A and B are shown apart, each in its own frame.
Chain A
Amino acid sequence: MKKMKRFLSIALAALLAAGCLAGCSDSTGSTASGGSDELVFKIGGIGPMTGDAAAYGIAVDRGAQIAVEEINAAGGINGYQVEFKSEDDESDPEKSINAYNTLKDWGMQMLMGTVTSGPCTAVAAETDNDRMFQITPSGTAVESVQNHDNVFRVCFSDPAQGTKSAEYIASKGLAKKIAVIYNSSDIYSSGIYNAFAAEAKNQGLEVVAAEAFTADNKTDFSVQLQKAKDSGAELVFLPIYYQEASAILQQADNMGYKPMYFGCDGLDGLLGVKGFDTSLAEGVMLLTPFAADASDEKTQAFNQAYEEAYGETPIQFAADAYDGIYAIKLAAEKAGITPDMSYSDMCAKMIDAMTQIELDGLTGVDGITWNADGEPNKDPKGVIIENGAYTSMD
């Protein structure tokens, strides 16, 4: 026992020392590269690459890589090549700070992240403090962007989606009695639900059942569906991600319950679930800024590049990331920044430039502009799934 612990402590101490040194050499390495001959823009990305939310983080990383490759092939930003590097945060706020600091040691100048909302709020406080420019592809919580002048986002905020969904349902007269099934342990889902419930009241819609599930409890939806059925709802609103939605659709079908379904951008990807019987998704409506099946040239090209590189259809997160990188490019060109500037100088110029650009992106075909508070102005489109493909409802 005794000696074993001795040995353990020595071994561990050695490991620790090695780690410490590695950390130190890292930091000196990055400062050195700041003055090297080959100047590049270093853009960092943070998102979950392992753990429950890994699908989103990996999609964002891939979408961004495609954009970066395209930009580099076309001559880079302001004549400089771009380097992009992602770090894993396991969708945990504390780990996201570690990822952020790792990227800072690498020499990151701008951050295109983080992917999930909780970590995004944590990292935004750090970038604000450091004066690092940040654009999140998919962090939807209000707090992560609006309290910080240096943080922008590509996707809609939660309340915006909830409010717009209620308005859309009311204006199209889709239904009067609505049941909601949402993930009460998830920031995205509960954020949309809260805004939806508030706006539904104003629009004269009746929320007859609001049933929750949690991250630990997301396999069996029979109770939530039964309650929705018993409440006589004509439409089930699903402000959740497509993984759970595919299970809900299947279980509803098993119990012979066939209401209308309406969802937000999280549902995008439903048709891409491997092995999912897409006939179950027939008639599902969603309000989304991006649809992988859209016929416009840009989306098609992106889809093709993504499928060639990774062998699967991109989900909306990948498109958000792609737009995020292009937003950085546009703003950087507007601001005229160069890689030899300090990141805080870059940040100041980028903040000004962001409100002046208009991006013709994948997630906003009619052009995306940004407010000073970091929110994007773009119109979500109502889409319905027909014959296994997204079709515009307008």
Chain B
Amino acid sequence: MLSKWKALKKTTRSNAITYAIVIVAYLIIQLLSGLGLLSSLFTGLLVPLCTYVILAVSLNLVVGFLGELSLGHAGFMCVGAFASAFFSRCMEQAIPASGVRFLIALIIGAVCAGIFGILIGIPVLRLKGDYLAIVTLAFGEIIKNVINVLFIGRDENGFHFSTKDALSLNMSADGDVIINGPQGITGTPKDSTFTVGIILILITLFLVTNLIHSRSGRAIMAIRDNRIAAESIGINITKYKLMAFAISAALAGVAGVLYAHNLSTLTATPKNFGYNMSIMILVFVVLGGIGSIRGSIIAAVVLTLLPEMLRGLSDYRMLIYAIVLILMMLFNWAPKAIEWREKYLSRLPFLARKKGESTGKEEV
């Protein structure tokens, strides 16, 4: 506990560094892009990178600070994506100003995902450990499955719903099928930009760091470190758990909005909103260091870029990616590897100097 108190004093500095990294990265990229030095691939990756950074930071709130394993994060992203894309599709004519429309879409996405976070959180947070993990995974899969059988159309008589097929919507001839079951939503306006993404990252960082360093945040971490002790000093466990869970879900919803408005087609496949994606986000968090927000950002960026950088390997790409992932995990987490690094790498002058700078735990 002592190390945490020490670290608290450094928090402002640590946060400033994180903000600075994001802003400097933004400026450099804008500069390169202005000079025409960015490849198309990298330009196309900018918005997805922002999406994954937000997802990683928001999941870190649950995994790192609340200390619960959630495997349903992609489900909340899915809710945010579909709610906002549905809104944008409906209102494309009614609100032609893309800025206003996107802002409302963002709020809708975040609120819907947040509500789902609360609804799911109330029953789920009674469970612990791997049981909680499996139930969140289950909820994520249910959300994906239900969206895949949802058909919503609109004609002059209003909205039509069905869970069977587009035919049973019984719409008039000029009706518009907005959510078309597995085909999802097509033609979402492309409102996501890199600048918007960076602003959303900064807002996410602001929300998360402020929450962590507030009274509530300390309560959340007290629950993580010792639930019974926290309860005995009068902390309302359910309230704080739910708070962290819902905020995390809402932020995942924001990432979903960004995702949905970057592609012209939105479908709920096992790939983008299934448990595979939830696990991928967890990989970002664990590789970056559980509880380290800066680590989450860096890991999300690196692991999203890695498979793209490996494209030159063609057939061996995903194989090498898997091997690199395993090696990175072993290198970062194995006690033997850590010992080895301390023995040899600390002799390197630039690392030794950095070590002297701060000794506090970075987690808080």
Q: Please say whether the chains A and B touch (CB closer than 8 A).
A: yes
Using CB atoms and an 8 Å cutoff, list the residues of chain A in contact with chain B: 1-10, 12-13, 15-16, 19-20, 22-24, 26-28, 49-51, 87-88, 90-94, 97-98, 100-102, 104-105, 118, 121-122, 124-125, 141, 143, 147, 184-187, 190-191, 193-194, 197-198, 210, 214-216
- Whether B311 sits at the interface, judged by CB under 8 Å, is yes
**Which B residues lie within 8 Å of A49 (CB)?**
314-315
Interface string of B37-50 (1 = CB under 8 A from A): 11111111100100
Using A6-B355, A215-B269 as known contacts, say yes or no to A24 and B44 having CB atoms under 8 A apart: no
- Closest-CB distance, A52 to chain B (whole angstroms): 8
C-alpha gap A41/B301 in the complex (Å): 34
- Docked-complex contact A2 and B361, CB < 8 angstroms: yes
- Whether B103 sits at the interface, judged by CB under 8 Å, is no
- Closest-CB distance, A4 to chain B (whole angstroms): 6
- Docked-complex contact A94 and B272, CB < 8 angstroms: yes
- Docked-complex contact A105 and B269, CB < 8 angstroms: no
**Which of A7, A19, A122, A184 has the largest count of B CB atoms less than 10 A from its CB?**
A7
- Closest-CB distance, A345 to chain B (whole angstroms): 19
Identify which of residues 330-357 in chain B touch chain A, using a CB-to-CB cut-off of 8 Å. 332, 338, 341-342, 345-346, 351, 354-355
A/B pair count, beta carbons within 8 Å: 176
**Which B residues lie within 8 Å of A87 (CB)?**
311
- Docked-complex contact A16 and B182, CB < 8 angstroms: no
* Majority secondary structure of chain B interface residues (helix, strand, loop or mixed): helix
C-alpha gap A20/B43 in the complex (Å): 11
C-alpha gap A24/B36 in the complex (Å): 9
- Docked-complex contact B264 and A121, CB < 8 angstroms: yes
Cross-interface CB contact of B267 among A13, A50, A93, A98, cutoff 8 Å: A93
- Docked-complex contact A4 and B341, CB < 8 angstroms: yes
**Which A residues lie within 8 Å of B341 (CB)?**
3-4, 7
- Docked-complex contact B292 and A3, CB < 8 angstroms: no
What are 30 pairs between A and B in contact, CB < 8 Å? A1-B289, A3-B345, A3-B354, A8-B288, A10-B351, A12-B301, A16-B298, A16-B301, A19-B305, A23-B38, A23-B42, A24-B38, A49-B314, A94-B48, A97-B263, A98-B41, A101-B39, A101-B44, A104-B40, A121-B265, A141-B183, A143-B187, A184-B149, A184-B181, A185-B182, A187-B182, A190-B181, A194-B165, A194-B167, A215-B270
- Residue of chain B at shortest CB distance from A22: B309
Using CB atoms and an 8 Å cutoff, list the residues of chain B in contact with chain A: 32, 37-45, 48, 141, 145, 148-149, 165-167, 181-184, 186-187, 190, 259, 262-265, 267, 269-272, 274, 288-289, 292, 294-295, 298-299, 301-302, 305-306, 308-309, 311, 314-315, 317-318, 332, 338, 341-342, 345-346, 351, 354-355, 358-362
**Which A residues lie within 8 Å of B355 (CB)?**
2-3, 6
- Closest-CB distance, B150 to chain A (whole angstroms): 11
- Docked-complex contact B267 and A118, CB < 8 angstroms: yes
C-alpha gap A90/B318 in the complex (Å): 10
- Closest-CB distance, A205 to chain B (whole angstroms): 14
C-alpha gap A19/B298 in the complex (Å): 14
**Which of A23, A28, A194 has the largest count of B CB atoms less than 10 A from its CB?**
A23
* Majority secondary structure of chain A interface residues (helix, strand, loop or mixed): helix
- Docked-complex contact A184 and B182, CB < 8 angstroms: yes
- Docked-complex contact B359 and A4, CB < 8 angstroms: no
**Which A residues lie within 8 Å of B184 (CB)?**
118
- Closest-CB distance, B353 to chain A (whole angstroms): 10
C-alpha gap A22/B288 in the complex (Å): 23
- Residue of chain A at shortest CB distance from B303: A12
**Which A residues lie within 8 Å of B263 (CB)?**
93-94, 97, 122, 125
C-alpha gap A351/B261 in the complex (Å): 28
Cross-interface CB contact of B295 among A8, A28, A92, A101, cutoff 8 Å: A8
- Residue of chain A at shortest CB distance from B355: A3
- Docked-complex contact A27 and B269, CB < 8 angstroms: no
**Which A residues lie within 8 Å of B181 (CB)?**
184, 190
**Which B residues lie within 8 Å of A216 (CB)?**
141, 145, 270, 274
- Closest-CB distance, A210 to chain B (whole angstroms): 8
- Residue of chain A at shortest CB distance from B42: A23
- Closest-CB distance, A321 to chain B (whole angstroms): 17
**Which B residues lie within 8 Å of A24 (CB)?**
32, 37-39, 42
**Which B residues lie within 8 Å of A23 (CB)?**
38-39, 41-42, 309
- Docked-complex contact B38 and A27, CB < 8 angstroms: yes
C-alpha gap A185/B267 in the complex (Å): 9
- Docked-complex contact A16 and B305, CB < 8 angstroms: yes
- Docked-complex contact A143 and B271, CB < 8 angstroms: no
Cross-interface CB contact of A121 among B186, B289, B295, B346, cutoff 8 Å: B186
- Docked-complex contact A13 and B298, CB < 8 angstroms: yes
Using A3-B346, A15-B302, A50-B317 as known contacts, say yes or no to A143 and B186 having CB atoms under 8 A apart: yes
**Which B residues lie within 8 Å of A184 (CB)?**
148-149, 181-182
**Which B residues lie within 8 Å of A10 (CB)?**
351
- Closest-CB distance, B354 to chain A (whole angstroms): 5
- Docked-complex contact B311 and A118, CB < 8 angstroms: no
**Which A residues lie within 8 Å of B332 (CB)?**
4, 8
- Docked-complex contact A185 and B148, CB < 8 angstroms: yes
**Which A residues lie within 8 Å of B359 (CB)?**
2
